[in-house]
Amino acid sequence: MKLVIAISSRALFQLDESHAIFETQGVEAYCAHQRENEHVVLAPGAAFTLVKKLLALNKGVEVVLLSRNSADTGLRIFNSIEHYQLDIKRAAFCSGASAHRYVEAFGAQLFLSTDPSDVRESLAHGHAAATILPSNRDNDSGQLRIAFDGDAVLFSDDSERIYKQLGLDAFSRNEKDAARDPMPGGPFKNFLAALHAIQAAAGPDDSPIRTALVTARSAPAHERVIRTLRAWDIRIDEALFLGGMSKGAFLKAFGADIFFDDQPVHCDSAREFVPTGHVPYGIANAAIAGED
């Protein structure tokens, strides 16, 4: 199974200065700026280190670029890719249009962007996606380490809806009663399965990837999580049941290259310690998406 990651140019490189020109002076000034600076190498962006580690895994991993730039203004991006010797050969330049349309065409299991609207559209079409948040934190270890929240990320948000609507006691009763019923998969289930396939091929003692579940759940809600992963036949290396404790220090201790969570408050806390992707999915994001 080939692992394909789609990434936007603003997630891969630092393009805030260029984007500010676009926002304040318009598209013509932006295009002129990019052409005038096409040989000026862009600084690494929030997902740069993650991409480098992904590309270092093996030939079964591919990263593709999805960009709202045109092919003309995108020349600076490809020049920067060449400078950093990133093995990225495929790209879609959309000239201002949404890039998420090409996630499925490229066969990508994950789309990383700084544009929340593109991310929400990708999730709505059934693809794992996250908005990369600004962070100055990087993990220097050679092993790729990816951490996930549970509900509304790896799992559906069915249980989280019970918690939000009826409270903790109702949530705990439901999870205890349904402990032997596997949860439906969330938007990142297939991405986790792709990581698991790479781990399985490498063997438990020589895996280039380590995964962690970092969840606010605690006993007795832990059992359903364990039985769900068992039913999926998917391996998670570490599982942290924090019972509502702040996740940041635990993510730092794990050494996450990226952490995915659906709740903005948890993402804001986590990105102080590790690179973080917000997954705008489920009831925690209903108001943002305009749901009732």
Which position among 149, 151, 157, 257 bears the catalytic label? 149
CA distance 148 to 26: 38
For residue 115, indicate whether it is catalytic. Answer: no
> Within 13 Å, how many C-alpha atoms sit on residue 50's CB side?
30
For every one of its 292 residues, what pLDDT tens digit does the chain have, with 9 covering 90 and above? 689 999 999 999 998 888 788 778 878 888 888 888 889 999 999 899 999 999 988 778 999 999 988 888 889 999 999 999 999 999 999 887 888 889 999 999 999 999 999 999 999 999 999 999 987 676 666 789 999 999 999 999 999 999 888 988 898 899 888 889 999 999 999 999 999 998 888 877 778 899 999 998 988 889 999 999 999 999 899 999 998 899 999 999 999 999 999 999 999 989 999 999 999 999 888 766 544 3
The answer to whether 127 touches 108, Cβ cutoff 8 Å, is yes
Catalogue all structural domains in the chain, each as residue range(s) with its CATH number. Answer: 3-131 (3.40.50.1000), 144-289 (3.40.50.1000)
- Is the pTM higher than 0.75? The answer reads yes
Give the sheet arrangement for strand 209-215, strand by strand.
Answer: 91-93, 61-67, 3-8, 110-113, 129-132, 276-278, 258-261, 144-148, 209-215, 238-241
